[in-house]
């Protein structure tokens, strides 16, 4: 009792406000249990004038991040400004002084994880980042502690709320991608510039972090195959429904005989799978552990309150460790082998949904089947939908058995070159989970 630890916050936006609010509202209560006082001493933000609805002493606020970084009384720095710079410089500066750091910055960790964890280990501090993946779901703690003794075999995540919201609305209420995106923006579930989300890049950053914790792999998002949901159309959604699947943007990692796979793309998954029932802006991670078997973790992946809780729970843990004199555990997060080489996307083996627009005339299906067969792709089922809809062409849907991505790409290129095929062929990967 009587012990005290000071934290400083850099970045007083939505999450920063939530962190300050949670600490004001509840820290008395939870600190009583822990037997020490955790104080938010200083908050830095370029804009300290904006009203945040919080009753804070004026001297607590500063526009100078250095006032937080250089305060010797501040032992834990919370970085919530996001982006690569100056966040990276600030976090390194804090770590180099032996401070611990809590961050929600997925881009930073995905890109510079090795550098940051090395700095933390070297200077005896910790770097905590629960808030960087799946907001309020304590998935990193689960992987790092509860499943530390297990070996994760595969992981499938719905890690991006915006795209899940869009896909849910498209499936449940109809509407085209562009329309639903606009609704999502109006409802506050998509940003004005939704590129990071819809392109899959946001999910890839989070997957890079999960790979580090769950697979001991050091991978940047650029090393992964990443495909967004921009090309998912009404026909795909309706076909999926008809075939007993749902379309989700999945971040996937698997241990295979050839190494670790990591990729982000829309996938058809069986409607009965738990991940297919994850609706709206919610996040979920399904994983299979060698010992624990399948597990699913579900909750809100973003928002002021869930994310603030993740930040403050990290803060309490780091404060407690410092007071107990525990050493840095950052070394556990460094891959000894350096950067991990992923299985090339071309070698990934999956079943596929393939939709073509082909002329409705004898021999066309045979021609396509022959061509698929030449690329080593066998057909599981074919649906030809109705009669000629567009200049004598009809949609033909083929579900394939497992095939390599390379074979599929060659096949599609050849199919699209056929004179009887009238539009770019759509391909969606299938994950049976």
Q: Are 237 and 428 in contact (CB under 8 A)?
A: no
Cα distance between residue 206 and residue 137, in whole Å: 13
Return d(Cα 170, Cα 160) in angstroms, integer.
16
Half-sphere exposure of 218 (CA within 13 A, CB side): 17
What are the structure tokens assigned to 351, written together? 């079943």
Using the minimum distance from each CB to a second copy, give the nearer residue, 193 or 324.
324
- Shortest CB 346 distance to a second copy, Å: 31
Smallest distance from a second copy to CB 164, Å: 14
Q: Is 169 a residue of the active site?
A: no
Q: How far is the CB of 82 from a second copy (least distance, A)?
A: 20
Taking each helix axis from N to C terminus, what angle separates 14-34 and 304-324, rounded to the nearest 10 degrees?
A: 40
Nearer residue to a second copy within complex by CB, 83 or 146: 146
Cβ(90)–Cβ(118) under 8 Å?
Answer: no
* 148 or 390: CB nearest a second copy: 148
Nearest to 218, CA basis, from 33, 342, 32: 342
Give least dist CB 148 to a second copy, A. 6
Give whole-number Cα distances, 91 to 10, 50, 84, 294, 316, in Å: 10, 25, 10, 36, 18
- By beta-carbon proximity to a second copy, the closer residue of 325 and 386 is 325
Nearer to a second copy, 174 or 272 (CB): 272
Q: How wide is the angle at C-alpha 175 spanned by C-alphas 170 and 179, nearest 5°?
A: 105
Q: How far apart are the first and last CA of the chain?
A: 49
Task: Considering the complex, state which of residue 135 and residue 395 has its C-beta at the smaller distance from a second copy.
Answer: 135
* Least separation in angstroms between CB 431 and a second copy: 18
- Of the listed 99, 106, 206, 248, which one is catalytic? 206
Q: Which of 322, 326, 325 is nearest to 4 (CA)?
A: 322
Binding site for a second copy (CB under 8 A): 22, 26, 30, 33-35, 130, 135-138, 141-142, 145-151, 272, 274, 277, 289, 291-300, 303, 305-306, 308-310, 312-313, 316-317, 324-327, 331-332
Cβ atoms of 233 and 176 closer than 8 Å: yes
Q: Shortest gap between Cβ of 419 and a second copy (angstroms)? A: 47
In the bound state with a second copy, the residue whose beta carbon lies nearer, of 142 and 377, is: 142
Q: What is the secondary structure of 347-382 as a DSSP string?
A: G-EE-EEEEEEEE-STTHHHHHHHHHHHTT--EEEE
Cα–Cα distance measured from residue 144 to residue 31, given in angstroms and rounded to the nearest whole number = 24
Rg of the chain over CA atoms, in angstroms?
A: 24
Angstrom distances, CA of residue 415 to CA of 40, 74, 397, 406, 428: 62, 63, 13, 14, 15
Instruction: Round to whole Å and give the CA distance between 332 and 87.
Output: 23
In whole angstroms, what is the distance from residue 324 CA to residue 343 CA? 42
Decide whether 93 or 300 has the Cβ nearer to a second copy: 300
Residues designated as active site: 206
């Amino acid at each position: 009792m009587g012990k005290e630890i000071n934290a400083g916050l850099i970045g007083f936006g939505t999450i920063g406000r939530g962190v300050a609010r949670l600490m004001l509202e509840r820290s008395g209560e939870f600190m009583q249990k822990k037997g020490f006082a955790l104080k938010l001493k200083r908050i830095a933000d370029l804009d300290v004038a904006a009203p945040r609805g919080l009753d804070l002493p004026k001297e607590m606020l500063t526009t100078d991040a250095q006032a937080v970084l250089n305060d010797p009384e501040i032992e834990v720095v919370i970085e919530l400004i996001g982006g690569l710079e100056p966040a990276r410089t600030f976090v390194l500066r804090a770590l180099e002084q032996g401070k611990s750091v809590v961050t929600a910055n997925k881009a930073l960790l995905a890109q510079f994880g090795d550098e940051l964890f090395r700095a933390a280990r070297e200077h005896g501090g910790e770097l905590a980042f629960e808030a960087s993946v799946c907001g309020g779901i304590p998935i990193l703690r689960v992987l790092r502690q509860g499943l530390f003794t297990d070996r994760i075999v595969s992981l499938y995540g719905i890690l991006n709320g915006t795209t899940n919201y869009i896909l849910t609305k498209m499936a449940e209420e109809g509407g085209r991608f562009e329309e639903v995106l606009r609704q999502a923006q109006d409802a506050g579930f998509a940003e004005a510039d939704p590129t990071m989300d819809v392109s899959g890049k946001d999910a890839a950053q989070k997957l890079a972090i999960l790979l580090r914790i769950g697979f001991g792999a050091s991978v940047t998002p650029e090393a992964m195959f990443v495909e967004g949901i921009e090309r998912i159309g009404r026909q795909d959604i309706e076909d999926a429904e008809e075939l007993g699947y749902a379309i989700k943007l999945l971040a996937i990692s698997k241990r295979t005989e050839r190494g670790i796979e990591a990729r982000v793309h829309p996938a058809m998954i069986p409607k009965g799978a738990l991940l297919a029932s994850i609706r709206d802006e919610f996040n979920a991670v399904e994983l299979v552990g060698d010992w624990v078997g399948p597990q699913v973790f579900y909750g809100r992946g973003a928002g002021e309150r869930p994310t603030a809780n993740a930040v403050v729970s990290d803060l309490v843990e780091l404060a407690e460790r410092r007071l107990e004199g525990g050493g840095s555990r950052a070394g556990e997060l460094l891959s000894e082998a350096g950067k991990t080489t992923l299985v090339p996307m071309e070698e990934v083996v999956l079943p596929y949904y393939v939709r073509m627009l082909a002329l409705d005339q004898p021999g066309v299906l045979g021609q396509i089947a022959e061509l698929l067969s030449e690329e080593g792709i066998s057909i599981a089922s074919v649906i030809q939908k109705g009669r000629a809809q567009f200049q004598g062409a009809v949609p033909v849907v083929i579900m394939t058995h497992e095939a390599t991505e390379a074979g599929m790409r060659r096949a599609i290129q050849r199919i699209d070159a056929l004179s009887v095929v009238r539009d770019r062929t759509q391909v969606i990967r299938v994950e049976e989970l």
